[in-house]
Amino acid sequence: MGTGQELYKKAKTLIPGGTMLLSKRPEMFLPDQWPSYFSKAKGCKIWDLDGKELLDMSIMGIGTNTLGYGNDEVDAAVMETVKNGNMSTLNCPEEVYLAEKLIEMNPWADMVRFARSGGEANAIAVRIARAASGKDQVAICGYHGWHDWYLSANHNGDDDLSGHLIPGLSPSGVPKKLKNTVFPFHYNNYEELLSIVENNDIGVIKMEVLRNFGPEDNFLQKVRTLATQKNIILIFDECTSGFRETFGGIFQKFGIEPDITMFGKTIGNGYALTAVVGRKSVMEAAQSTFISSTFWTERIGSTAALATLGVMEKTKSWEQITEIGNKMRLGWQKLADSHNLSISIAGIPSLSTYGFNSKHALAYKTYVTQEMLKKGFLASTHFYACTEHKQEHLDSYFEALDGIFAMVFRCESEEFDINNLLEGPICHGGFNRLN
* Complete DSSP assignment for 82-93: HHH-S--SSPPT
- In this structure, which CATH number among 3.30.200.20, 3.30.420.10, 3.40.50.2000, 3.90.1150.10 belongs to the domain 3-65+320-421? 3.90.1150.10
Are the C-beta atoms of residues 88 and 242 closer than 8 Å to each other?
no
pLDDT at 158: 67
Contact indicator for 323, 315 with CB cutoff of 8 Å:
no
In CATH, the number for domain 72-315 is 3.40.640.10
Reference 400, options 367, 375, 365; nearest CA is 375
**Location of each CATH 3.90.1150.10 domain in the chain:** 3-65+320-421
CA distances for 345 relative to 80, 240, 349, 382, angstroms: 42, 18, 10, 10
Q: State which H helix or E strand residue 262 sits in.
A: strand 260-263
According to DSSP, residue 48 is labeled E
The dihedral through the CA atoms of 112, 115, 119, 123 has a sign that is negative
Q: Are 264 and 102 in contact (CB under 8 A)?
A: no
**Planar angle of CA 399, 404, 409, nearest 5 degrees:** 125
Domain ranges in the chain with CATH number 3.40.640.10: 72-315
Per-residue pLDDT, 159 = 67
pLDDT of the residue at 433: 65
Closest CA to 38 of 13, 15, 7: 7
State residue 341's pLDDT score. 98
The helix/strand/coil state of 181 is coil
Amino acid identity at 84: N
**What Å distances lie between residue 135 and 203, 283, 284, CA to CA?**
5, 15, 16
pLDDT along the chain (435 residues), means of 10: 92 96 95 97 98 98 97 98 98 98 98 97 98 98 93 82 76 92 96 98 97 92 98 97 97 97 97 98 97 97 98 98 98 98 97 97 98 98 98 98 98 97 94 68
Angle between helices 190-199 and 219-229 (to 10 degrees): 10
- Look up the pTM and report it: 0.95
Q: How far is CA 338 from CA 195, 274, 341, 358, 405, in A?
A: 46, 43, 8, 17, 9
Q: Among 215, 12, 263, which Cα is nearest to 116's?
A: 263
Beta strand spans in 210-251 (E):
233-238
